[in-house]
């Protein structure tokens, strides 16, 4: 049986392990510094930065989705940004990714939102095909930019 459930503070170790498994899968383990303490503080502290739902298959945590609110100025409606979706390899092919995305879509609708958005690595053809099979489309006319590390510190210092 498959269940999609909101994560609780007790799930912090499992969430952290899933984050590290995702980083390994995305070939980005060298960029993953998340600790249980940080995950707990940022997801369940005084000012949660994001939310997590867990996919449990037959009582075992099979995957997760981490998301947070965003806003469309053109629609003048809220939405959700899906930061990470991951299903453990041994649980793939059982509809878990689809169930997580369906739960998120229902949550967007429940919150009066206008869209669910996320990014995907361009080499991840299986994920791209999966997302497109659900009706998602790539936003090829948009390029994502990021400021981090020393560039972030330098920019912040100029304020």
The dihedrals phi and psi of 118, each to the nearest 5 degrees, come to -165, 170
Of 25, 71, 131, 145, the active-site residue reads: 131
Q: Three-state SS across 19-60?
A: HHHHHHHCCCHHHCCCCHHHHHHHHHCCCCCCEEEEEEECCE
pLDDT-based confidence at 145, cuts 50/70/90? very high
pLDDT-based confidence at 1, cuts 50/70/90? very high
H or E segment to which residue 126 belongs: helix 125-133
CATH numeric code, 2-157:
3.40.630.30
pLDDT-based confidence at 136, cuts 50/70/90? very high
Rounded to an integer, the average pLDDT of 5-9 is 98
pLDDT at 135: 95
Strand order across the 77-87 sheet: 2-6, 51-57, 60-72, 77-87, 115-118
- Among residues 8, 32, 11, 31, which one has the least CA distance to residue 20? 32
Q: Give this prediction's pTM.
A: 0.93
Per residue in 28-85, pLDDT tens?
999 999 999 999 999 999 999 999 999 999 999 999 999 999 999 999 999 999 999 9
Per residue in 87-119, pLDDT tens?
999 999 999 999 999 999 999 999 999 999 999
pLDDT at 44: 98
- Let me know the angle formed at the C-alpha of 12 by 8 and 16, rounded to the nearest 5 degrees: 140
CA dihedral angle for residue 89, residue 90, residue 91, residue 97, rounded to 10 degrees:
10
Catalytic residue list contains 131: yes
Site of tokens 């304020």: 159
């Amino acid at each position: 049986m498959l269940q999609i459930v909101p994560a609780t503070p007790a799930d912090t170790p499992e969430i952290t392990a899933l984050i590290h498994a995702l980083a390994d899968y995305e070939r980005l383990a060298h960029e993953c510094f998340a600790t249980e303490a940080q995950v707990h503080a940022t997801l369940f502290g005084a000012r949660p930065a994001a939310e997590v739902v867990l996919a449990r298959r037959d009582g075992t945590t099979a995957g997760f989705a981490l998301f947070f609110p965003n806003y469309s100025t053109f629609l003048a409606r809220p939405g959700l940004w899906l930061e990470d979706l991951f299903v453990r390899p041994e649980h793939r092919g059982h509809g878990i990714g689809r169930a997580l995305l369906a739960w998120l879509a229902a949550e967007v609708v429940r919150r009066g939102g206008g869209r669910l958005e996320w990014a995907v690595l361009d080499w991840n053809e299986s994920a791209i095909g999966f997302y497109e099979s659900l009706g998602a489309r790539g936003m090829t006319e948009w390029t994502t930019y990021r400021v981090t590390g020393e560039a972030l510190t330098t920019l912040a210092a100029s304020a």
